Chain A
Amino acid sequence: MKGLLALPQWLWAQLRHEVLVLPSRSFVFFAALLLLVLPLFYDDPYVLRIITMTAIFAIFAASWDLLAGFTGQVNFGHALFFGVGAYTSALLSHHLGWIPWITVPLGAVLSMATGFLVGIPCLRLRGSYLSLATLAFPLILTGMLFAFPDFSGGELGISGLKRLVVSTVGNYYVAVLPMLILCFGIWKIGDSNTGLIFHAIREDEVACRASGINTTRYKLLAFALSGLFAGLSGALYAHFMRVAGPSALEVALSFQVVIWGIFGGIATIYGPVLAVFLLYPLTEILANFDMFKEIRLLIFAVIVLLVLLFMPQGLTPWIRDKIELVCPRCKNRNVFTRHQCRLCGAELR
């Protein structure tokens, strides 16, 4: 009996001591919970569709943050991984007739390999060079796809793909569950030893190397991991839309993810995810009003600009610093109402 209760007890303890003590974590926890139960009492297919797309793009944004935010390899061509995932999965299921449950993971794996391959030339590039050079990769791939229209479908892409599951609610969970798991996973990576090294590479690569860390290996790891997750989101997208076309490689998509990432606050993972959940539905909501319909993208851009003027670090760091305090001694976070650190008892102010 005691053994049976051990797991729930442990979970409850985790929840109480790790999650509910901080407002940010509580918010994430309840938001995730809400996402999980939403279809049970609200099943409007349009809203579910928007959230499904949002969830897919949230994985994409989080994967960008792992590479650009944590490791400082600001990738301007992140659509490459998205497109590789989408096209790989689409081509495999179209030409070989494999089911999406096999092709989607394969798309992610090939995208991971692409990340690794692209990472090699990028090892030699720094800062803005890297950003601007990476912009080229998806465009080169687009050129190649257009060169073989019989194979790739040219500008039409591959259409008529099968979905992973049939129902609207099923598709919702197919996107939302991986989103929650992966984003938590990516956040955990960011929090781990590896994440610390990623962070160190961004801050000072030379010092990091001087400390005996093989930065090359870690940078390639960041590229590959980022590619893996972005590729998965691309493959999910292709099978949800049932089309994998050149629009998955467009410059606009690469820019979009940069906007999400920086708007939400880089190197946080939850920042870009929140940004997607705010900004992606925003244009859709605006499209519901006749007066905003035609200018929704203009409003979108103005909002992004205004928010950045006031919160140049991004949205979530700004909010976080308002509601949480960092303990000066142990560097752990505390809710702003506390006067003493919850872990080491040091004075907070």
Chain B
Amino acid sequence: MSRKLLLPAVAAIGLVFSQAVWSQNIKFAILGPMAFVQGENHWAGAEMARDEINKAGGISVGGKKHMVEILKIDTNEIQSVPDATNAIERAITRDKADFLIGGFRSEAVLAMQEVAMDNKKLFLGVGAAASKLGINVEQNYERYKYWFRASPTKDVDLAKTLFAVMGSVAQQIRTDLKKEVPKVAIVAEKTAWTEGLIKAAQANLPKMKMEVVGLWQPSAVATDVTAELSAIKRAEADIVFTIISGPLGIVLGRQMGELQLPAVAWGINVEAQKDGFWQATAGKGNYVSTLDTYAEVESTPKTIPFVKAFKARFKKSPIYTAATYDAIFSLKQVIEQTGTIDAEKLIPAIEKMEYVGTGAIVTYDKRHDLNWAVGKTSGIAVEWQDGEKVPFWPPQTKGMKPFKLPKH
């Protein structure tokens, strides 16, 4: 009998909310799954940037000072992709955000990217690594030029860092354990972003004098990998090369510790980047190492002050999605330089800018991805040692500590 009591209600609420107070503020919409750690860090990084900028008087546009306003947009993207697209549409057309920052789950970010491009809004990605996001820019510049990936580097570049670190881990195994050809077991969650990395590992590791003893691909949400680990143990692997973004990373770290697997885990393990990792593995995730963004080391001159201030304020260390901080500051830099908030004029400036961020020194390539270089955008490598997340790579960066191997 019926279709819609609700339309009038939607319309009424629409009217109320579209009358959002007109103001001089520059609005940054912070998009993320706010109930999850990624979203919390999106928001925390943005809060720090807002407070610092406003304390210093705001952003000056053509001589006039404007305050920074950040909008917390819960995309719920981990649970629902349509929710994410609705949220970004709301941020753009209802909340009248000037800039969009954030995003995490690649499938959702791809969908959100389309909405942002439809509306010709600058969208600085902080969180999703899928190459496709940048390839879009290259293939259809006029449509997708409003997208920039402020963090992290695209998945293919992550591989470069991974192999660089892998080389030094293998070297340590060769000297400490007197093993000429270390054996590597690859554990990658079965997702599209890991495909390229797996192929690269299978091709490169033998060249780096390592033997690949097998490839295991559990589902990203597997809760148990003892079967896989038993097989890995039989293969006598020295290194477990992880390419994992989901909770699988915790399960793997914990069960490796529990079974006292005589191997070290290195790779991407997003959960191991979080402070909660030690607790989540009940202290069994010792020697698990992963690519990471922030630590109290001098990646750039801004890193240590940022990480310290973040820890003091939020009682936890930042993960890579806290780079919303850098995204806002880099926009401040180009806005002040060009004297406008018009996206069309900002884009050429962003393409040319060099911005010294907290985790990376930012320059963009023709896909609007970060240019990769060791020590600039490579990120760092960290290892869990007795409850502490210890940074150990790149060795030339100040503040690094030694990498440890489990006792055999």
Contacts and interface: CB of A to CB of B under 8 A. Distances in A.
Check whether chain A touches chain B (CB < 8 angstroms): yes
Interface stretch (A106-114, A198-206, A241-249): A241-249
B18 A51 contact: no
B365 interface: no
A74 interface: no
B86 A50 contact: yes
A215 B74 CA distance: 48
B111 A27 contact: no
Interface stretch (B54-62, B88-96, B327-335, B354-362): B88-96
B2 A155 contact: no
A287 interface: yes
B111 A241 contact: yes
B191 interface: yes
Q: Do most interface residues of chain B lie in helix, strand or loop, or is the interface mixed? A: helix
Given A155-B192, A159-B110, A31 B4 contact: yes
Nearest to B3: A31
B218 to A, nearest CB: 12
B107 A23 contact: no
Nearest to A183: B3
B110 A278 contact: no
B193 A156 contact: yes
Interface residues of B, number: 45
Contacts of B227: none
Nearest to B190: A146
Nearest to A268: B1
Interface in A268-305: 270, 273-274, 277-278, 281-285, 287-288, 293-294, 297
A342 interface: no
B89 A155 contact: no
Looking at B2, B74, B136, B192, the one whose CB has the most chain A CB atoms below 10 A away is B2
Interface string B50-93: 00000000000000000000001010100111110111011001
A25 interface: yes
B312 interface: no
A149 B192 contact: yes
A177 B208 CA distance: 61
B5 interface: yes
A155 B11 contact: no
Contacts of B276: none
Contacts of B132: 156, 159-160
A148 B275 CA distance: 35
A52 B163 CA distance: 47
A32 B10 contact: no
Contact of A243 (B35, B72, B74, B114): B114
A153 B7 contact: no
Nearest to A315: B2
Contacts of A49: 85-86, 89
Contact of A242 (B72, B86, B87, B111): B111
Nearest to B16: A288
Give me the 9 closest cross-chain CB pairs, A-B, nearest first.
Answer: A154-B192, A24-B1, A31-B3, A159-B110, A245-B107, A243-B111, A149-B192, A247-B81, A242-B114
29 contacts: A27-B2, A38-B7, A44-B94, A46-B94, A47-B11, A47-B14, A49-B85, A50-B86, A149-B195, A150-B195, A154-B191, A155-B220, A156-B106, A156-B132, A159-B110, A160-B136, A241-B85, A241-B111, A247-B81, A273-B3, A277-B5, A278-B4, A281-B10, A283-B83, A285-B10, A287-B86, A294-B35, A316-B2, A319-B2
Interface of B: 1-7, 9-11, 13-14, 17-18, 34-35, 72, 74, 76, 79-83, 85-87, 89-90, 93-94, 106-107, 110-111, 114, 130, 132, 136, 190-193, 195, 220
Given A46-B14, A320-B1, 16 more contacts: A31-B2, A34-B7, A46-B86, A49-B85, A53-B86, A149-B192, A155-B106, A160-B136, A247-B80, A274-B4, A277-B4, A281-B10, A287-B87, A288-B13, A297-B76, A319-B1
